[in-house]
Amino acid sequence: MAKMTAWERQRTALRAEISAAACALFVQRGFEATTVDQIVETVGISRRSFFRYFGSKEDVLLGDLAARGDAVARALAERPDAEDPWAALRAAMIAAQPETFNDPVADLAIARMMHETPSLRARLFEKRQHWRDALVPLVAQRVDGPDAEFTASAIVSAVLCCVDTASDAWVAADGEADMLALYDRAVAAIRAG
């Protein structure tokens, strides 16, 4: 991996500062009540600078969703070839967890916002397409038969629905439930049917 330049480090640090400030405002005031102007005022940057880093206010919360999908894809690529696709995806999500979810309090607050804000929910599903694009080819390699791509697409879509179902239940339980156990219950319900 190439070493980051000073400019890239500065850009990454400012993006993280904008994100942290925005998330704090979202938690304090609510997503809809927080404006881009309030975010830029808190950070001390211009609106123009904000939009260099984020395409929209929604992207502040969901901007790293693609990177989370990439982390799962990297972990999936490292799983044994003979492993069942369902088991491989589960193991990959667990392996990628340190890169994807590392602050349960912030994750719960963000998940609540996503569940309560239609514009965020819509962007979540849009960004999840990146996950499908990254995961389907890797799962297709684990599926036999002429319909491997179709089957892989169905499995990945079902897994992502199980993630959403588990997330909804986790939010409803105020973050007190075991997310992995909820995911396993959702997968068991689909596979039993």
User: pLDDT at residue 2 above 70?
Assistant: no
Which pLDDT belongs to residue 99? 62
Is it the case that residue 1 has pLDDT exceeding 60?
no
Residue 83 lies in domain: 64-192
Query: Could you tell me the CATH number of the domain that includes residue 29?
Result: 1.10.10.60
Give me the torsion for CA of 148, 149, 155, 156, rounded to 10°. Answer: 150
Domain total in the chain: 2
∠ CA 108-75-172, nearest 5°, is 20
Note the pLDDT tens digit of each residue in 37-52. 999 999 999 999 999 9
125 band by pLDDT with thresholds 50, 70 and 90: confident
What average pLDDT is seen over the chain? 88
Q: pLDDT digit string (tens) for 52-108?
A: 988 888 888 887 777 788 889 999 999 999 999 999 999 999 998 876 666 677 778
Same domain, 80 and 124: yes
Does residue 1 fall inside a structural domain? no
In a 3-state reduction of DSSP, which class is residue 119? helix
Residue 192 has pLDDT above 80, yes or no: yes
Residue 71 and residue 50 share a domain: no
H-helix segments, 30-147: 36-43, 47-53, 57-62, 65-77, 85-100, 104-116, 118-140
Q: Quick one: pLDDT at residue 111?
A: 82
Instruction: Read off the pTM.
Output: 0.79
* Residues near 152 by beta carbon (within 8 Å), at least 6 away in sequence: 85, 136, 137, 139, 140, 142, 143
